[in-house]
Amino acid sequence: MPTTGIGYSNAASALASRIDICPVSELPPGDSRRVETEDFDIGIFNCDGHLLAMEDRCSHDDSVLVEEGGFDAAACTIECPRHGSVFDLRTGRPITLPAYEAVETFPVLVEDGVIKIELE
């Protein structure tokens, strides 16, 4: 399910589980955060006020992106620290090689001042 940013909602979202991340004030524009779930890790990014969530791994070699990668808030991208693949945070798709497969993105909501992500 692709990320659509703040305010995402539809009938399918009623079946999704939501995870509280942090208050909006703790993730200012240009900042990112890594969240561990039971199955995988997720990166939460504030691209100049637009909140996005993407699986925190490079599809080329499973490297961690958030803590070691190059987050560019203006371009809404993150670069893998190992081989340089750049991913579009809006879609999860790689923009540069060697990665060629997209990673999963997740809807982000803000409810009562708290950032939340939806997982299916």
Q: Give the phi and the psi of residue 79 in degrees, each rounded to 5.
A: -105, 135
Residue 103 lies in a domain: yes
End-to-end CA distance of the chain: 8
- As for how many domains the chain has, the answer is 1
Q: What is the pTM of this model?
A: 0.84
Residue pointed to by tokens 């923009």: 95
Residue 77 lies in a domain: yes
For residue 45, CA distances in Å to 14, 22, 52, 98, 118 come to 23, 12, 5, 23, 15
Domain extent at residue 76 = 11-119
pLDDT at res. 14: 54
Residue 4 lies in a domain: no
CB 20 within 8 A of CB 114: yes
What does the pLDDT look like over 13-66, one tens digit per residue?
Answer: 456 799 999 999 999 999 999 999 888 999 999 999 999 999 999 999 988 999
CA 52 from centroid of its chain's CA atoms: 5
